[in-house]
Amino acid sequence: MQEKRNIQIIEWEDLDKRKFYSFGVFMTMTIRATVYPATLIRTRLQVQKGKSLYSGTFDAFFKILRAEGVRGLYRGFLVNTFTLISGQGYITTYELVRKYVSTYSENNTLKSLVAGGSASLVAQSITVPIDIVSQHLMMQGQGDNMGRFKIKSKTVVLATKHKVTFGQTRDIIVQIFAADGFRGFYRGYVASLLTYIPNSAVWWPFYHFYAEQLSKWAPSECPHLLLQAMAGPLAAATASTVTNPMDVVRARVQVEGKSSVIETFKQLLAEEGFWGMTKGLSARIISSTPTAIVMVVGYETLKKLSLRPELVDSRHW
């Protein structure tokens, strides 16, 4: 039985796919550029031991800005833009899985849960190698204790190994392969899946839930896009809080070169206790808020612009 909803969801079969992908690339790039500084700060906070360099999100922001300038907030960004591929893979998988699940159930929560988790699985399989390289780039700039690669002027020392030049992305790729082989580019893959699949699976149902609840309280003439823009950050904060412990473990596994998710989790608990699991949470919520707003407004606008011509006048906006 079809659910009755105040906010009508634009489904895959309603879209002009050519427009959808053309506008989608621009939207994804805009989101990446907007939130990248917060992502970099979050990663540095999660990897540092205790509060050895930064005392919090805003302290990290101002220290990086003073010491490294605006460029410091965008270290590794060019490499990270390759995640545009995973972004397109994510939205395609999400929409196709929603369509598939709808043949068995019209329950929107179930469709969002399954589609969100599946989309994240596909995206992370593409994203993890890119993240590995970009995260090592993020670690450059301040501190000798923030990763496997120790920065000294223009040279870097790989832990327990000889000095190597570490100025370019190519050098990072060569070093990772030399140290760990091909599997080095998928270090932390399991941790990433354990972080982002639940995050995505939780975000979409909560997003639709919050939007629907807000629509019941708002005046009937209130634009649905405004309600959706409010629901996005609420869903992001909920999902970030639930999955942050695993995100801290993921960052440590990938940057410090650890091989065991369980051992990393135990070590983090032993060294920093429960509060170690909250490291980077404020930065994550801060980064997820604009991400959610830009993503929701962009994504819902993208779908509206990509509607098949005969359906344009059938959606309240």
Does 41 fall in a domain?
Answer: yes
CA dist 82 to 65, 87, 98, 127, Å? 25, 9, 26, 8
Quick one: pLDDT at residue 268? 83
Domain coverage including residue 221: 12-140+186-312
Is 247 inside any structural domain? yes
Exposed (0-12), middle (13-18) or buried (19+): which is 188, by Cβ within 10 Å?
A: buried
Task: Establish if 270 belongs to a structural domain.
Answer: yes
Residue 171 lies in a domain: no
Residue 163 placed within a domain: no
Going by C-alpha positions, the residue among 207, 28, 194, 187 that lies closest to residue 117 is 194
pLDDT recorded at residue 170: 79
- Overall domain count for the chain: 1
User: Which tokens is 16 given?
Assistant: 């002009």
**Domain with 301 in it: what CATH number?**
1.50.40.10
| pLDDT confidence of residue 146 | 55
In a domain? residue 25: yes
Residue 179 lies inside a defined structural domain of this protein: no
List, for the chain, all residue ranges whose pLDDT scores fall below the cut of 50: 1-2, 144-145, 149-166
Asked if the structure places residue 256 within a domain, the reply is yes
The whole-number pLDDT of residue 259 equals 66
Q: What is the reported pTM?
A: 0.67
